[in-house]
Amino acid sequence: MKKKYIIAISLCLAVAWCVSCKKQPDGYYDFTNRENRFDGTIYEYLKSKPGVFDSLLKVMERSSWMRDSLNNTAGAYTVFAPVNNNFKVALQNLNVVRRGAGKPLLDLATVSGAQMDTLVDFYAVRGNYPTDSMLYVDGLYLKSLRYNDSLHAQRLIDGAQGIVNGGPVNVSFAYTNGSGFSANWNVASTQVVNIRTSNGTVHVLAYANEFGFDQVIKRWNQ
């Protein structure tokens, strides 16, 4: 009887763990930040997560230079990967404005390819930058992969009671708007960091961020 009881408890715990880690709609994952290793390129990693990066992959098919770069095993790259909901929020806000102006609604297949190129470029840089490379007091200044736009990454550690630097690690990732003053930056946060691939590192952006760093309406509503 005792043995059956232990087995039943173990099964319940296993089910609870699976439920707590299941994928949520639009790219939100409820799991703790920890270092992961993926045996493949950054592009292959993104493709391995259906329901999470579908919108990013769709954009990368139009901006093929980014797809080809992130699948290049000879290079080293870091991606701050927006999830589906980040694009959903941006398009909803864009189309509210367009609907009010009597303009046709847009989606990822119909927005300007040139403007899409500019915005998706904000999320990839050349070089391998896990969070331990962002330990400078002023963070790490970066340049975007294709157009050399100014970006910034700062490692953050949430507090854990009684433990120095014991909380989860996250990244504050910013488009600087060409300004040296952080008050002028548009900032995004991460939900998962340090996913190591064969050609670099992926940091996954948090569910609530808006794709484009508040540039979508300005650039796509033309």
- For 74-126, the pLDDT digits (tens) are 999 999 999 999 999 999 999 999 999 999 999 999 999 999 999 999 999 99
Tell whether 203 is covered by a domain: yes
Tell whether 12 is covered by a domain: no
Distance CA 66, CA 24 (A): 27
What pLDDT, on the 0 to 100 scale, is given for residue 135? 87
Domain of residue 90: give its range: 24-220
Tell whether 175 is covered by a domain: yes
Please say if the pLDDT value at position 4 is more than 50: no
Distance CA 208, CA 190 (A): 10
* Band (35; pLDDT cuts 50, 70, 90): low
What pLDDT, on the 0 to 100 scale, is given for residue 187? 97
Task: Give the angle 171-172-178 at the CA atoms, nearest 5°.
Answer: 135
Q: How many domains does the chain have?
A: 1
Tell whether 124 is covered by a domain: yes
Structure tokens at 133: 């490379």
Output 194 or 33, whichever has higher pLDDT: 194
What pLDDT, on the 0 to 100 scale, is given for residue 26? 67
* Whole-Å CA distances, 174 to 40, 144, 181, 205: 27, 11, 12, 11
Distance CA 119, CA 44 (A): 21
Distance CA 147, CA 35 (A): 30
* Band (176; pLDDT cuts 50, 70, 90): very high
Please say if the pLDDT value at position 25 is more than 80: no
* Whole-Å CA distances, 105 to 68, 74, 86, 87, 203: 30, 40, 18, 14, 31
Q: Identify the CATH number of the domain in which residue 109 sits.
A: 2.30.180.10
Tell whether 76 is covered by a domain: yes
* Band (137; pLDDT cuts 50, 70, 90): confident
CB distance 167 to 150 below 8 Å: no
